[in-house]
Structure 1
Amino acid sequence: MKKLPVPFRSAPPTLALLGLLTLGSWHPAFGQAELAPWGNLQGLRVQGQLLETNASLRLLRPGGASEAATRHEAQRPHYTRQGPAQLVTTRLDSLDLRETVTDLGPGRASVAVQATARATTPMLGAFMALELPREEYAQAKVQFLDTQGKVLTQQALSGAPGESPVASRLRLVAATRRLDIVLATPGKVLLRPAKAGQPLLVYLPIWAGNLAKSQKAQQTFTITATGTVDRAPVQLALNPAQPGRPWAGFGGNFRLQNPKHDPQVIDYCLNNTRVAYGRVEMPWQLWQPALGADPTAAARQGQLAPHVRESMEMAQRLGKLGMPIIVSAWSAPQWAVVGDQGNGTGPGANGQWGAPLNQANLPASYKSIADYLVYLKEQYGTEATLFSFNESDLGINIRQTGQEHADLIKNLGAYFASRGLKTKLLLGDNSDSNSFGFIGPALQDAAARPYIGAVSFHSWRGWDTPTLQKWADAATQLQLPLLVGEGSIDAQAWGYPAIFEEPTYAQQEISLYLRLLAVCQPLSILQWQLTSDYSPLAGGGIFGNNAPLHPTQRFFNLQQLAATPLDVAYLPLTANRPDIACAALGNPAKNVYAVHVVNNGATRQITLGGLPAGVKRLRCYVTDPTRSHQELAPVKVAGGQARFTLDAGSYLTLVSQ
């Protein structure tokens, strides 16, 4: 059995120690305020359990009929941390916003908001709006208090909205939850009607009325959250008798974009993590800039563009490590498309992303792509296992319809075969799982089937189980592997890279990965990226951080997942309580099992049942804000059950021994 690596043994000691010190300098996951980098206070953690506030910053128009709100991918925010304080600057309509959220102790934080008008702004007011979960607050009472804590009035939170008195304090009291909010400047709180089944809305005033150009408004809220913490024991049920699809191992994207900083991250990741699958770029626009040119002849004459050479060398390096290689094209030469491809960061003037392939030049496009792959095979000894256009459902930067995608698979796949290439095409490689309909035409086209090598989507959006299940079902229908071609949780995080060092981001990312394992059973999840872009390392000049290069909590999460034993398949594993993400893999014939568990709630006792009789002891590894893929004392197994404590905010892996 391949042993899980003990942390730091393969890592340079200096970098390992720096990583531990960095993770140990501040522990917001043990703290309180969970702030999204676009400015939404998602809640306050108490003993590891999140008590939701779902607070966004909003601007209400006159009359209150329409509003603008901070939300994911709606603005271009900037996020930083300064000790216990998290800072977000963003723009909402004509307001420049600066928000500072400071941890004040368990379940307690202050939220200071400053708004500056870029132009005279007619509005009902600026607010921090709470969206409270109906299941927790359906029977809640809202109390308005004065500065002395005297209740001025009280009403049902879910009742008809009414005119509130000017209040300095607000108290929301439910059966198992309570929020106490102090306003630095008294104001009128708005209770807004919500549709059936939707969250209950409370608007806390930052400013009432219009703001003149350059005028500033500010407010500070002190929020205290209390409530029942779920410490109920958890039962995990394993079923080794029903193995699913195989797991090849953790993978990575290696699209080269930063010559200065990429090499150090790539070297570190490949030297300290088992990477089983790789994806690299085909810089098509540089391979054959002109229609009618012979790129192979030019390359043989020493005219290979440096970025093309580096990308081929990257594929070669990964291939020598035994990885299957995906080659993906982001952009095309201008002769191969119609219109402006854009830069991949937003729609063009026509409201659409990217550009479609030029149908008149498709034969030349097929030849150009095949020439690249043949040259890679003959000159670099690396044959691509799979080929794709990156996120062509959206248009980054080549855009296709579902039918065009199906036609590409049939025609380009057949052309690859005629050139002696074993390379097949990815079905999908979608921008996220929500655009599942894009693969429909090819999924139903029998003529496309021989040229599809795997199904692929990217995990940026669409995490609900029914949507993820569609992708699993598509792979089952075709009897082909499923790949998560780009794995992570926030496609905009490059704009606020400080979030990569937050334990909350690391925990959300690994929680999603375990859900993907459990629901989709992918052959591999390919991290975006194992380069300096979305880097799992910090320092070394990356994102302006000039500290020595060091691993973050995200890196150790990925390392721990990647250390899953070889030659395993998915096994059913269920948890009987919420806030637990889990997945299991194993090989019953070899009596090898690995169980991965993330605790998104409070510390609780776990019983893992269903272990085979031959398993007597489990090796145990943990990553959290203070422990980095650390090996703990082994867990004994008796009568097919293992009992252990799962700490709040931790990622635990158990491996049969």
Structure 2
Amino acid sequence: YFEARDAPGSNLRREFEMMQALQRKGVPYAASIWWLPEWMLADPNMKPRSEHRRRVGIGKWEELLESVGSYLLYAKKRYGAEPDLFSFNEANIGVYVLFDPEEHREAIKSFGAHFRRLGLKTKMLLADATGPDGTYTYALPAANDAEALQYCGAVAFHSWGGTTPERYRLWGEVAEWLNLPLLVAEAGVDAQAHRERRYDSFHYGLREVKQYQDLLEHARPQGIIYWEYTSDYGLARVSREGGQEVVEPTSRFHFMRHWANLTPRNSDNLSAETSHHQVRVTAFRGAEGFTVHIANLGPARELVLEGLPAASYRQVVTSATEGFVEKSRVEASPQATRLALPGRALITLTTVR
């Protein structure tokens, strides 16, 4: 089936090639179902494809398992690609397949056992729920079932809409209780901001920065996946001039460079506190030193940093007028380090190596 449809230039071919590229780079990745074929649904051809809360049809489960399993086996054998994790996207609200918490538990059992029989390493993503506000309960029926839990490889939620520090912490506590990694499988502020490109502003970028700080401080995930590196929430503007495509990075692109390029891989997220609600600090310790992300969400001010190990630090700044600009190095003292913060900016310090 898949070999006959795996044609050059097809969406299917592009999917497999992306999986292969991620696999070769050693990047962990998840495969998620959004839509099912109409014939697999309980109400086939009765609603538009964009309709939420569709359910798997009675008697269709075996065919669903066979379909997903054969897809993954083909990807493994033909492309050497094998997803680390598998889920149904936002099944707690049905985007676009709906499972209640108990059905989610049973789906984990069914798919997990099927993948194991096929010799696939792919584990199930527990919850993959949206948004973060109180939805940790969606994971609990599966979390309390030993049979389901053996098939789970990580816990995940989507951050749309955000929540309070206390409710972010509940997600972290569930993952710690189960001894599983926590993933923010979609990081985003406003799920409707793709309409009329409302995301395309410096102000929206600052909201994203603040949310990253909240997630890292309170939920304590092991991974955050930005939604998304495509035109829906694009970090760059694309236009045409003289018949040529022109790509213009935005401040949001540069903010993302701070997180992606300057945060050490496999580092520890350290405890950090501030005395001003408009200044947020996130610190990491890696094998080669320290990284400190400082978000100043208000006007320019002086910051006194205490506890920063004495060393020379590279300083990178993104603001409304500068994008990922290298500034003069900061020499940290053992007692306190004074730093002038530009207004409405993200400042990152990294140990000079």
Q: Same fold (TM over 0.5)?
A: yes
Q: Would the aligned equivalents of 1:581 and 1:599 in 2 still touch at CA under 8 Å?
A: yes
Q: Hey, what does 1:315 align to over in structure 2?
A: 19
What does 1:190-205 align with in structure 2 at a 5 Å threshold? none
Q: Hey, what does 1:304 align to over in structure 2?
A: 6
What does 1:476-515 align with in structure 2 at a 5 Å threshold? 476-497=176-197, 499-515=198-214
Shift of 1:341: 6.4
Is the aligned partner of 1:648 residue 2:337?
no
Q: Hey, what does 2:235 align to over in structure 1?
A: 536
What secondary structure does 2:126 align onto? strand
Is the aligned partner of 1:603 residue 2:303?
no
Is the aligned partner of 1:637 residue 2:332?
yes
Shift of 1:611: 2.5
**Structure 2 residue aligned with 1:620, among 315, 319, 324?**
315
Distance 2:307 2:109 in 1: 45
Distance 1:656 1:571 in 2: 15
Q: Could you list the per-position Cα deviations for residues 34-53 of structure 1 after superposition, in whole angstroms to 9, with x for gaps in the alignment?
A: xxxxxxxxxxxxxxxxxxxx
Q: Hey, what does 1:371 align to over in structure 2?
A: 70
Distance 1:606 1:317 in 2: 43
What secondary structure does 1:573 align onto? coil
What secondary structure does 1:447 align onto? helix
Distance 1:396 1:416 in 2: 23
Give the letter for the 1:470 counterpart.
Answer: L
Q: CA, structure 1 residues 494+643, in 2 after alignment: closer, same or farther (shift >3 Å)?
A: same
What secondary structure does 2:166 align onto? helix
Distance 1:427 1:397 in 2: 17
Q: CA, structure 1 residues 640+565, in 2 after alignment: closer, same or farther (shift >3 Å)?
A: farther
TM-score by length of 1: 0.51
Is the aligned partner of 1:406 residue 2:105?
yes
Give the letter for the 1:463 counterpart.
Answer: T
Distance 1:433 1:500 in 2: 20
Q: Would the aligned equivalents of 1:355 and 1:398 in 2 still touch at CA under 8 Å?
A: yes
Q: Hey, what does 1:441 align to over in structure 2?
A: 141
Q: Could you list the per-position Cα deviations for residues 247-300 of structure 1 after superposition, in whole angstroms to 9, with x for gaps in the alignment?
A: xxxxxxxxxxxxxxxxxxxxxxxxxxxxxxxxxxxxxxxxxxxxxxxxxxx223
Is the aligned partner of 1:332 residue 2:36?
yes
Shift of 1:595: 0.8
Shift of 1:444: 1.6
Distance 1:360 1:341 in 2: 20
Shift of 1:644: 0.4
Q: CA, structure 1 residues 342+393, in 2 after alignment: closer, same or farther (shift >3 Å)?
A: farther
Q: CA, structure 1 residues 303+638, in 2 after alignment: closer, same or farther (shift >3 Å)?
A: closer
Distance 1:373 1:390 in 2: 17
Q: Could you list the per-position Cα deviations for residues 45-73 of structure 1 after superposition, in whole angstroms to 9, with x for gaps in the alignment?
A: xxxxxxxxxxxxxxxxxxxxxxxxxxxxx
Q: Would the aligned equivalents of 1:571 and 1:584 in 2 still touch at CA under 8 Å?
A: yes
Deviates most, 396-405 or 437-446: 437-446
Q: Would the aligned equivalents of 1:342 and 1:354 in 2 still touch at CA under 8 Å?
A: no
Q: Hey, what does 1:13 align to over in structure 2?
A: none
Distance 1:454 1:515 in 2: 20
Shift of 1:358: 2.1
Distance 2:265 2:346 in 1: 20
Distance 2:138 2:48 in 1: 21
TM-score by length of 2: 0.92
Distance 2:234 2:56 in 1: 32
Is the aligned partner of 1:524 residue 2:219?
no
Shift of 1:515: 1.2
Q: Whose relative contact order is higher, 1 or 2, with alpha carbons under 8 Å and at least 6 apart?
A: 1
Q: Could you list the per-position Cα deviations for residues 171-210 of structure 1 after superposition, in whole angstroms to 9, with x for gaps in the alignment?
A: xxxxxxxxxxxxxxxxxxxxxxxxxxxxxxxxxxxxxxxx
Q: Could you list the per-position Cα deviations for residues 290-344 of structure 1 after superposition, in whole angstroms to 9, with x for gaps in the alignment?
A: xxxxxxxx223x3337222221112112222221111111001123221256444
Q: Hey, what does 1:594 align to over in structure 2?
A: 291
Q: CA, structure 1 residues 363+547, in 2 after alignment: closer, same or farther (shift >3 Å)?
A: closer
What does 1:163-174 align with in structure 2 at a 5 Å threshold? none
Q: Could you list the per-position Cα deviations for residues 584-615 of structure 1 after superposition, in whole angstroms to 9, with x for gaps in the alignment?
A: 1113xx45111111111121111221123xx4
Q: Hey, what does 2:268 align to over in structure 1?
A: 569
Give the letter for the 2:247 counterpart.
Answer: L
Q: Would the aligned equivalents of 2:162 and 2:189 in 1 still touch at CA under 8 Å?
A: no
Distance 1:555 1:479 in 2: 33
Q: Could you list the per-position Cα deviations for residues 534-577 of structure 1 after superposition, in whole angstroms to 9, with x for gaps in the alignment?
A: 11110236xxxx97211111001001110112231111011111
What secondary structure does 1:538 align onto? strand
Q: Would the aligned equivalents of 2:315 and 2:347 in 1 still touch at CA under 8 Å?
A: yes
What secondary structure does 2:339 align onto? strand
**Structure 2 residue aligned with 1:550, among 230, 248, 252?**
248
Q: CA, structure 1 residues 459+369, in 2 after alignment: closer, same or farther (shift >3 Å)?
A: same
Give the letter for the 1:606 counterpart.
Answer: L
Shift of 1:651: 0.4
Q: Would the aligned equivalents of 1:487 and 1:525 in 2 still touch at CA under 8 Å?
A: yes
Distance 2:245 2:81 in 1: 36
What does 1:213-362 align with in structure 2 at a 5 Å threshold? 298-300=1-3, 302-304=4-6, 306-339=10-43, 342-344=48-50, 348=51, 353-362=52-61
Distance 1:489 1:547 in 2: 29
Q: Would the aligned equivalents of 1:341 and 1:397 in 2 still touch at CA under 8 Å?
A: no
Q: Would the aligned equivalents of 1:619 and 1:654 in 2 still touch at CA under 8 Å?
A: yes
Which consecutive unaligned segments of at least 5 residues does structure 1 have?
Answer: 1-297
Higher fraction of strand: 1
Q: Would the aligned equivalents of 1:331 and 1:341 in 2 still touch at CA under 8 Å?
A: no
Q: Hey, what does 1:247 align to over in structure 2?
A: none
Distance 2:122 2:222 in 1: 17
Shift of 1:655: 0.9
Give the letter for the 2:173 counterpart.
Answer: D
Q: Could you list the per-position Cα deviations for residues 443-496 of structure 1 after superposition, in whole angstroms to 9, with x for gaps in the alignment?
A: 221221111111111111232111111111111111111111111111111112
What does 1:48-197 align with in structure 2 at a 5 Å threshold? none
CA RMSD of aligned residues (A): 1.7
Give the letter for the 1:466 counterpart.
Answer: E
Q: Hey, what does 2:96 align to over in structure 1?
A: 397
Is the aligned partner of 1:456 residue 2:160?
no
Give the letter for the 2:5 counterpart.
Answer: Q
Shift of 1:640: 4.6
Distance 2:335 2:36 in 1: 56
